[in-house]
Amino acid sequence: MTREKKDSLSHIERLCIEKGLKMTGQRRVIARVLSQSHDHPDVEELYRRASKLDDNISVATVYRTVRLLEEKGILEKHDFGGGRARYEVTEQGTHYHLIDVDTGKVIEFEDPEHVKLVQVMAKKLGFDLLQHRLELFARRTQNNKS
């Protein structure tokens, strides 16, 4: 693959190729949509976005592709409530999610103090921390609703 061709690939397309996945045209579209997503879309939203780029993509293709990308460790599945799994690229670094239970909006944040706290807690309990996850489900306070 030429340098120019490699540079034109989306982040998820490159991850797929590194994992040895065959990149069909429809997989490329789905990978590009996922790479350009700054939210945590569910399959239905991915389908809406991908079908705008390629109207031959079926929702079944999106489901199969997302499942494959999850199996290969490229995507991470989240249950933020609402009955639909939502996805993001696995290698996003240490960050956390605050989910607004009224709107479903997901806000990502980092907190080095939290990392220290969970490491200390694991040590106190006699464990070496391997990984951790924090998801906060919250509602805006009355004073901040606007």
pTM over 0.75: no
Q: Which helix (H) or strand (E) holds 75?
A: strand 75-79
Reading the block at residue 79, the tokens are 């249950």
List the one residue out of 93, 97, 92 whose CA is nearest residue 135: 97
Pairing state between β 135-138 and 106-109:
unpaired
Residues 83-138: tens digit of each pLDDT: 777 777 776 666 777 888 888 788 877 888 888 888 999 999 999 988 777 788 88
pLDDT band at 2 (very low <50, low <70, confident <90, very high): very low
CA distance 88 to 19: 17
pLDDT band at 3 (very low <50, low <70, confident <90, very high): very low
pLDDT band at 65 (very low <50, low <70, confident <90, very high): very high
List the one residue out of 119, 113, 38, 108 whose CA is nearest residue 80: 108
CA distance 131 to 20: 27
What are the residue ranges of CATH 1.10.10.10 in the chain? 9-87
Q: What residues are designated binding site?
A: 132
Residue-level pLDDT at 125: 95
Report whether CATH 3.30.1490.190 matches the domain 93-136: yes
Residue-level pLDDT at 145: 61
Residues 5-56: tens digit of each pLDDT: 445 777 888 888 888 888 889 999 999 898 888 788 888 889 999 999 999 9
Q: CA 121: distance to chain centroid?
A: 27
What are the residue ranges of CATH 3.30.1490.190 in the chain? 93-136
What dotted CATH number matches 9-87? Answer: 1.10.10.10
Burial 93-120 (b: 16+ CB within 10 A, else e): eeebbebeeeeeebeeeeeeeeeeeeee
Mean pLDDT of 63-67: 92
Q: What residues are designated binding site for Fe cation?
A: 132
Q: Which helix (H) or strand (E) holds 86?
A: strand 85-89
